[in-house]
């Protein structure tokens, strides 16, 4: 099977190695963005998930994704602003926007357009490998960044988590097994995503999140990612202690995205 994660990370690290921007200057620019926005202009990613869980039993992070390496084109011509509006109307608590261009067909423009079209907090979904990636996320308006434990060593994970917090964003720390969960917790993560998709083969294990849920300590906001198809899957994950699910392909492919998001949450209370 193709080693998707290895090739994607190699591409991102190669790009980072030739990025001539001064890290200090870009960090200051990102901090200036955060100062200008201020606390009142930030969108509370974690708070939105907690409220969604309280209001409807589970929060949904709806993903805007044009394509994937394993499935090919999903909806390459989608309008991110329209999709964001549809997701919000369906009851999503947050958005996830792919900004990787080479492998997922995304862009920073997708994130900017999606965030401007709705009031939801937005996760920059990308393969973060350094401080410049975190700073770029803040500059483009993201409210959260993805940190994949399998892509980072312990020093990078701790450093990038701290920088994310300093820039007023949340870090969704993604794990795939118990060893990675231990590393995430050691780095101080309190928002942890369990990806049921193996990022090296892109195969999905729909029992992984339930197994991993038993290991989540109190106080962690847990998110289940990948392989979530319907309300039954969502209910099962809620029972395993998850506060939120992150859903991409199922929603992007839907002919009625408003109903698709709403349907994941089951009947309204």
Q: Which two tokens stand for residue 242?
A: 């998850």
Report CA 142 to chain centroid distance, whole Å: 11
Per the residue annotation, which of 86, 88, 180, 225 is the catalytic one? 225
Q: Look up 195 and say whether it is catalytic.
A: yes
CA angle 240, 246, 252 (to 5 degrees): 140
Per the residue annotation, which of 65, 68, 96, 249 is the catalytic one? 65
Per the residue annotation, which of 86, 125, 161, 249 is the catalytic one? 125
Q: Look up 63 and say whether it is catalytic.
A: yes
Rounded to 10°, the helix 4-17/131-139 angle is 80
Give yes or no for a contact between 168 and 31, defined as CB atoms under 8 angstroms apart.
no
Q: Which two tokens stand for residue 206?
A: 């729909």
Q: Look up 65 and say whether it is catalytic.
A: yes
Per the residue annotation, which of 62, 93, 161, 174 is the catalytic one? 174
d(CA 117, CA 129): 28
Rounded to 10°, the helix 108-116/80-90 angle is 50
| Alpha-carbon dihedral angle through residues 225, 227, 229, 232, given to the nearest 10 degrees | -80
- Strand 67-68 to strand 72-73: parallel, antiparallel, or no bridges (unpaired)? antiparallel
Q: Look up 86 and say whether it is catalytic.
A: no
Q: Look up 71 and say whether it is catalytic.
A: no
Per the residue annotation, which of 63, 86, 88, 180 is the catalytic one? 63
- Catalytic positions are 63, 65, 125, 174, 195, 225-226
């Amino acid at each position: 099977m193709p080693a998707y994660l290895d090739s994607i990370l190699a591409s991102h690290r190669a790009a980072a190695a030739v990025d001539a921007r001064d890290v200090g200057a870009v960090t200051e620019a990102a901090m200036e963005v955060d100062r200008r926005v201020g606390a009142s202009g930030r969108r509370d990613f974690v708070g939105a998930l907690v409220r969604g869980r309280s209001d409807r039993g589970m929060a949904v992070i709806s993903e805007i994704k044009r394509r994937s390496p394993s499935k090919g084109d999903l909806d390459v011509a989608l309008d991110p602003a329209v999709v964001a509006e549809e997701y919000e109307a369906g009851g999503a608590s947050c958005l996830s926007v792919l900004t990787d261009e080479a492998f997922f067909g995304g862009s920073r423009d997708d994130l900017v357009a999606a965030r401007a079209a709705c009031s939801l907090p937005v996760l920059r979904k990308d393969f973060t490998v350094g401080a410049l990636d975190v700073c770029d996320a803040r500059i483009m308006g993201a409210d959260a960044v993805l940190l994949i434990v399998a892509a980072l060593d312990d020093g990078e994970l701790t450093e990038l988590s701290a920088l994310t917090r300093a820039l007023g964003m949340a870090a969704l720390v993604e794990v795939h097994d118990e060893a990675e969960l231990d590393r995430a917790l050691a780095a101080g993560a309190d928002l942890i995503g369990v990806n049921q998709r193996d990022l090296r083969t892109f195969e999905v294990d729909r029992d992984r999140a339930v197994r991993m849920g038993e290991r989540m300590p109190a106080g962690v906001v847990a998110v289940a990612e990948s392989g979530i198809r319907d309300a039954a899957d969502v209910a099962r994950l809620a029972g395993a202690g998850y506060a939120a699910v992150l859903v991409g392909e199922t929603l992007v492919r839907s002919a009625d995205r408003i109903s698709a998001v709403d349907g994941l949450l089951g009947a309204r209370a």
